[in-house]
Structure 1
Amino acid sequence: MPAPDTFWTYLGAVTAYLAVLAVPGALIGRAAGLRGWALAGLAPLLSYAVTGLAGPWLAMVGLRYNVLTAAACTLLLAGVAYGVRRLCLVRGWIRPGAEEPPVVWTNRAHWAVAACVVVAVGLSIAVVLSARGGTTAVFQRWDTVYHANGIRYIADTGDGSLTGMSTINWYPNGAFYPNGYHLVGALVYEISGTSIPVTLNAVTMPIAGIFALSMVALVRQMGGRAVHAGCTALIAAAATTGAYESVSSGLLPYALGIVLTPLTVVALQRFLVRPGVDTGLVFALSADGLLVAHSSALFGGILFAAPLVLQRWYRSLRKLPVDGVPEGRAGLRAIGRDILFTIPVMVFAVLLAVPQIFGAIQFTSGAYPYNAWGSHLPVMSALNMLATFQQVLHSPQLWLTALLAIGVLSFLRLGRMRWLIVSALGLSGLFVLVTSYGNVPLVISLSRPWWNDRFRLMALAAIPLCLLAGHGMAEVQRWIARLVRSIGWAKERPQVVSRLGIVTAAAVVAATAVLTGGFYRTANATAVSFLYYNGPEGEVTPPVSPDEIAAMEFLGRMGIPPDQKVLNDRLDGTAWMYALTGVHPVAGHYDGSGAISPDAKYLALYFRNYDQDPHVREAVRRLNVHHVLVGSGSIARDVPFSPGLTGLAGMDFLKLEYRNPGAQIYTIIR
């Protein structure tokens, strides 16, 4: 049953998540030579990489996945990274230093940027908390029940395989799904001892804060200004189309992949500037981290970072200065060097992720249907969504639009990050194609990693747009500082000039906070609230009702063994049965497509004919069903209740065990 919504359960779950997010990746990153913002930013991605890779490999060798085995895998990988790097240093094969950011920040700048990240984390937590008003609220969106059941399954069974958690619904063989999100969630659930709803909320709350940290690490690695980094962190926590829209749609692993995507540039830039075993290991693990978080995240990371490589190669061909390339080296030779050194790193990354890659190949060629969304909105509507950072809400974020316009117009001042313009154009163009021409077969094929879904592609396009808006905000600060510096009285006061940067930056941040109403916290909370209501509050009925939760809690106290299944409807809230109580349902997900058990389909249609239909009795026996839970409501509008589960009251083969206004529990008595 859901744990009480107390300060201590909340604090315990969030603390556990932050520890799982930071410690494994920090150990591996430190051993591989990462320091500073690169270490802080890449730590979450490396944590997901090691846990996401450990689960399937442990399953393949027959070991349980839990806190101890995950810690052992972390220490093993950190030990290997440290040993190999140390050997290379002693032999003189690598000379660290060139990969570090080319621009020095003052201590004051570091602390100011860190404060912006802390504010972004606080904003993210406040948005999620105020979206529903508590950490034990059950998520109501489509795929959230699958993620909830998956986390509970991994924690209960220790099965970290890529198909195991899907057996709650697609039994007996399961179905492939990249489970890095669930493997980390299982550790949080195990460490904190809270409920699955609290665990899911804890993992969701800092999502925009992670986005902000990733953005800061990118700007720092590329030699950007500290003001740009701090402003982008706040923009990342304010833009609805960044992390919040994906969360509001219940796309929890996808949202995770989005907020980690900027780190592709950090790992790639460090490797290209100084190819080595240590930077190559971090690059390979970063690629695998995106893959295990969500398959599309790796594709998104490639598209996002490709303009960086193109800019690098263009400058090489023009014989312009390029980070990590000796002056005078031929352009084609520099390009060949990048490709040559990248190939073994990618081969190593593929070898580490063999289970995920083969699983994805088998899945795409399997029976699970691919249904394109087929959006066909006007092009101008799509462009308006991009420019105003709004898609699920009716209110545009016009102050971010203004900052974006300033950032685009002043893109020449981006320096090493001018490639962001190309990235923004490319990803925005892909969004427009899918939004306006989603029925075209070529567009469907190109956007298949994102399920032809404009909401997913909006989040991807928001990454460079947020960076450009952050640049615009930083340019406003630069203009104000230059204006103040030009005033006569300021020139005569050196103490004013020395503090001008931090003072004007603070003034710009404060003004933006006021103009945006606390960085659009209320608007973002409204968007995230869709996660708790399956749409706008008042317009829909949440599928998981309090009555159903009470019935599931009663079911959990009935002592039902794990080899038995409880018959339930596929579209009501009872699909949460396993996540909340550990009792196995017949329908463990709202999704009835793919290789659903024929017995489950048959019972949904004809169970009420138990006395007359021997096929029903055989299906009940095969699934080992002894109890029935009938709920109310539906995840889908205007979809009728399963006919086999209607009108069960008074049936002589059933005994009523529990009833409330929205749910009933029956026992099959013969």
Structure 2
Amino acid sequence: MLTDWGPHLPAFLVLLAYLWLPGLALLWAFGQRGGRILLTAPAFSVAVVGLTGVVLDLVGIPYGALAQVVAAVVLAALAWLVGRLLPRGGHVPGSYAAGAEPGATPGDGRRWLFPAGAAAGLAIGAVLLVRRMASVIGHPEALAQRWDNIFHLNAIRYVLETGNGSTLTLNRMVSPESAIALYPAAWHQLASLVVPLTGDSVLVAHNLTLLAVAGLVWPASCIFLVRCLVGPSPVAAVVAGTAAAGFSVFPLGLMAWGPLFPNILALALAPVSLGLLVRLLGPGVTADRTARTPDAAGRVRLAASLAVTLGALFVSQPNAFLALLVVAVPLAATAWWLGLRAAAGARRRGPALGLAAVAVVVVTAWLLLWNVLTTDRAWDPFTSFGRGVGEAVMFTANGRDDVPWVLVLLTAAGVYAAISRRRLRWVVLGHLSLVLLYAVSAGGEEGPWREWLTGGWYVDSYRLAATLPLTAVPLAALGAAHVVEALAAGAAALASFAGRPGAGRAAHPVAAVVLLALAVPYSQVESLTQATRWGKQYYAWEGPENILTRDEYELLEELEELTDPDDVIAVNPWNGGSLAFAVAERPVTQYHVGTPDPLVQEVVTGIDAAVPGSPACEAAEELDVRYVLDFGTQFIIPDDPAALAYTGVNAVDPAVDLNLVLVERNGEAALYEVVGCDAP
């Protein structure tokens, strides 16, 4: 199976270059150094991609690979200029985190251990994730046979065809008359950049983007967050990468639900934003013993970096920003309380009043953002609130049967360690907040409070379940480091008691090896196997609610030979006909499911039996409709009244529907030409 992906390796490597190189260039130009920029670069690259799409659309320059490369160079140059204008930045003298010795970095002489652990964690997580996701997808040209994928695949082609890669206007694909048509575009931009390298296959480019983002960017982001919270612990780094591949709710859960690919991109970047926020607030909110309080210039640089990554979340999917807002509440409250206590202890009224004013401003801004990003669309509850809490705590959300015990136990150990170390108690509170939001969406009582709390996720338990690893991964990594320390301390004490203190020196590495040898394989348990089965059924060609059958897909591939590029094809989006645009670059009457406009309505309800001068023929002439795709009556939602309304393009009978003549048939899928609208 993996051999099917081999021919697309060059395109995959180019995609990785788009994900890493612009961010690395931006960070380097801004004056950032060190190995951590390798972990954070994709967040900055996505921000570059998203900003490029918006700016190019505003100035009327088509978006594409060349424009993206030039824009990345220009933005790196601007970052270099800004970096030279800003003070270099540093740390407040004597501001190490508790337990660290001023003038010395814990782990001196063994600094290679964390980079090695980070590399191992990223490699393990990437291999586990890519292998499993490739197994779910199957063939490189397979597609997730789900509702949202019609839009996503067509949107990638839309970026290529129109040169519009702007988040402000991408939704013009379905609302062409809108001046502002917001839809997060970063996912579709990234995929569009490699379509020409895949034999012009939108489906292959889309799947490669999924493997790159969920398989490499996500574990890299998690390792960075753990570094900010736990410090340079190689054990924590390896477990972070491993745990990133161990939760069935993300990314596998969103591959089969929706599918929500922009959400996958945004959540893959969210740990970077959270890690930068931790660094900005200083050592009082982290267990990293090497952390120091940034000075004023350092805070400005960190704030600028954080703002860039937040921009990346907005051009990817604002849902992830909402999750960040939730976790930021206990984090910011902890930092604020520490500052207030320090000001009160020093009897400094000015800083105390300043902190009070900051609290008012921050709370007001938080509420404004929350209300702006919430919606009134809601999914119904399907369980009880208490059971929803249990599902979130045990990572068995949305009907999963098997508990990933290794991750549950490591997360529990992390909760204990965070509470014990005080500085990380906010992580526990942030995790519990996400648990409660999932429970509210899954089993909360319907009403305005439920909608207000979870409306930013459409009160969708699948979206909220996918946010749980944002805090669970660092807790599991912290728990692993804590368990190793406890085992090593016990073994060292036992060796000393036995009169062999020298043997105690090997206790820590031995404990680390034993824990990792158990955690890595046992993180890949039945819960992931179940998620894999669920995913495979939605990537299969045959199913009762599929978008496309194999016959239909093969007919779409032939459209380039059967029709001219400007010929518009009348379709029913509910049975996959809209994907003629994504697969064959042919314009269609409707690019996603929804209510058709009046002209399209005339065509899709009456074109089969229309005669010259009829409303259907006049509408077809105005829209330039030349062909009809008949993909039958297998719909995404069976027997949906909206899908059944397309009577002129569903189950065409040439013996009766004389306005249409068969051009090509492949199994049950057929292409017809409109011939009866021309006046004799």
Q: Distance in 1 between matches of 2:413 and 2:149?
A: 38
Pairs within 5 Å for 1:173-572:
173=178, 175-190=181-196, 193-206=199-212, 207-224=214-231, 225-249=233-257, 250-273=259-282, 274=294, 275-276=296-297, 277-319=300-342, 330=348, 333=351, 336=354, 371-392=377-398, 393-414=400-421, 416-437=423-444, 439-488=446-495, 497-517=504-524, 521-533=528-540, 540-562=544-566, 564-572=567-575
Q: Distance in 2 between matches of 1:15 and 1:554?
A: 29
Q: CA deviation at 1:140?
A: 1.1
- Assess, with a 3 A threshold, how the Cα gap between structure 1 residues 543 and 559 changes in structure 2: closer, same or farther: closer
3-state SS of the aligned residue for 1:241?
coil
Q: CA deviation at 1:627?
A: 0.4
Q: CA deviation at 1:331?
A: 8.4
3-state SS of the aligned residue for 1:375?
coil
Q: Is the 8 A contact 2:47 2:308 kept in 1?
A: yes
Structure 1 match to 2:594: 592
Deviations 1:477-497 (A, max 9, x none): 223222322232898777754
Deviations 1:607-628 (A, max 9, x none): 3331288111121112110001
Q: CA deviation at 1:125?
A: 0.4
Q: CA deviation at 1:121?
A: 0.8
Q: Distance in 2 between matches of 1:438 and 1:188?
A: 46
Q: CA deviation at 1:386?
A: 0.4
What 5-or-longer segments of structure 2 have no aligned partner?
Answer: 283-293
Q: CA deviation at 1:157?
A: 2.4
Deviations 1:617-662 (A, max 9, x none): 1211121100011113211123364322233322222221101222
Deviations 1:493-516 (A, max 9, x none): 777544543332222121123434
Q: Distance in 2 between matches of 1:262 and 1:580?
A: 34
Q: TM-score, normalised by structure 2?
A: 0.85
Q: Distance in 2 between matches of 1:66 and 1:492?
A: 69
Q: Distance in 2 between matches of 1:623 and 1:375?
A: 43
Structure 2 match to 1:652: 658
Q: CA deviation at 1:34?
A: 2.7
Q: Distance in 1 between matches of 2:200 and 2:422?
A: 47
Q: CA deviation at 1:421?
A: 1.0
Pairs within 5 Å for 1:72-87:
72-87=70-85
Q: Is the 8 A contact 1:189 1:196 kept in 2?
A: yes
Q: Is the 8 A contact 1:438 1:452 kept in 2?
A: no
Q: CA deviation at 1:473?
A: 2.8
Given the alignment, which residue of 122, 142, 145 partners 1:137? 142
- Assess, with a 3 A threshold, how the Cα gap between structure 1 residues 611 and 312 changes in structure 2: closer, same or farther: same
Q: Distance in 2 between matches of 1:290 and 1:533?
A: 31
Structure 2 match to 1:41: 39
Q: Distance in 1 between matches of 2:150 and 2:13?
A: 23
Q: CA deviation at 1:43?
A: 0.9
Q: Is the 8 A contact 1:238 1:524 kept in 2?
A: no
3-state SS of the aligned residue for 1:205?
helix
Q: Distance in 1 between matches of 2:433 and 2:353?
A: 22
- Assess, with a 3 A threshold, how the Cα gap between structure 1 residues 252 and 284 changes in structure 2: closer, same or farther: same
Range with bigger deviation, 549-558 or 506-515: 506-515
- Find out whether 1:575 has 2:578 as its counterpart: yes
Q: Distance in 2 between matches of 1:311 and 1:70?
A: 41
Q: CA deviation at 1:240?
A: 1.0
- Assess, with a 3 A threshold, how the Cα gap between structure 1 residues 408 and 228 changes in structure 2: closer, same or farther: same
Given the alignment, which residue of 128, 131, 135 partners 1:123? 128
Range with bigger deviation, 642-651 or 422-431: 642-651
Q: CA deviation at 1:122?
A: 0.9
- Assess, with a 3 A threshold, how the Cα gap between structure 1 residues 379 and 37 changes in structure 2: closer, same or farther: farther
3-state SS of the aligned residue for 2:86?
helix
3-state SS of the aligned residue for 2:113?
helix
Q: Distance in 2 between matches of 1:519 and 1:82?
A: 49
Q: Distance in 1 between matches of 2:32 and 2:668?
A: 55
Q: Is the 8 A contact 2:572 2:590 kept in 1?
A: yes
Q: Distance in 2 between matches of 1:520 and 1:468?
A: 19
Q: Is the 8 A contact 2:29 2:80 kept in 1?
A: yes
Structure 2 match to 1:604: 604
Structure 1 match to 2:288: none
Q: Distance in 2 between matches of 1:667 and 1:201?
A: 33
Q: TM-score, normalised by structure 1?
A: 0.86
Q: Distance in 2 between matches of 1:451 and 1:8?
A: 39
Q: Distance in 1 between matches of 2:34 and 2:421?
A: 22
Q: Distance in 2 between matches of 1:339 and 1:261?
A: 28
Q: Distance in 1 between matches of 2:466 and 2:86?
A: 40
- Report the residue type matching 2:635 in the other structure: S
3-state SS of the aligned residue for 1:655?
strand
Q: Percent identity at matched positions? A: 24
Q: Is the 8 A contact 1:575 1:588 kept in 2?
A: yes
- Assess, with a 3 A threshold, how the Cα gap between structure 1 residues 160 and 173 changes in structure 2: closer, same or farther: same
- Assess, with a 3 A threshold, how the Cα gap between structure 1 residues 503 and 415 changes in structure 2: closer, same or farther: farther
Structure 1 match to 2:289: none
3-state SS of the aligned residue for 2:377?
coil
3-state SS of the aligned residue for 2:147?
coil
Q: Distance in 1 between matches of 2:446 and 2:4?
A: 48
3-state SS of the aligned residue for 1:389?
coil
Q: Distance in 1 between matches of 2:53 and 2:483?
A: 47
Deviations 1:432-451 (A, max 9, x none): 22222262122213322211
Deviations 1:144-174 (A, max 9, x none): 1211111111123212233654344334548
- Report the residue type matching 1:439 in the other structure: E
Q: Distance in 2 between matches of 1:334 and 1:622?
A: 68
Deviations 1:79-122 (A, max 9, x none): 12222222334xxx634698999865521232022201111011
Given the alignment, which residue of 109, 112, 120 partners 2:114? 109
Q: Distance in 2 between matches of 1:329 and 1:578?
A: 68
Q: Is the 8 A contact 1:208 1:259 kept in 2?
A: no
- Assess, with a 3 A threshold, how the Cα gap between structure 1 residues 208 and 476 changes in structure 2: closer, same or farther: farther
Q: Distance in 2 between matches of 1:635 and 1:331?
A: 63
Q: Distance in 1 between matches of 2:65 and 2:502?
A: 53
- Assess, with a 3 A threshold, how the Cα gap between structure 1 residues 507 and 318 changes in structure 2: closer, same or farther: same
Range with bigger deviation, 58-67 or 79-88: 79-88
Q: CA deviation at 1:219?
A: 1.8
- Assess, with a 3 A threshold, how the Cα gap between structure 1 residues 162 and 213 changes in structure 2: closer, same or farther: closer
- Assess, with a 3 A threshold, how the Cα gap between structure 1 residues 507 and 282 changes in structure 2: closer, same or farther: same
Q: Distance in 1 between matches of 2:616 and 2:550?
A: 31
Q: CA deviation at 1:390?
A: 2.2
Aligned residues: 635
Structure 2 match to 1:635: 636
Q: Is the 8 A contact 1:213 1:233 kept in 2?
A: yes
Deviations 1:199-246 (A, max 9, x none): 111111240542222121112123433322321221121011232212
Q: Is the 8 A contact 1:405 1:472 kept in 2?
A: yes
Structure 1 match to 2:290: none
Range with bigger deviation, 546-555 or 383-392: 383-392
3-state SS of the aligned residue for 2:664?
strand
3-state SS of the aligned residue for 1:600?
helix
Q: Distance in 2 between matches of 1:342 and 1:71?
A: 42
Structure 1 match to 2:24: 26
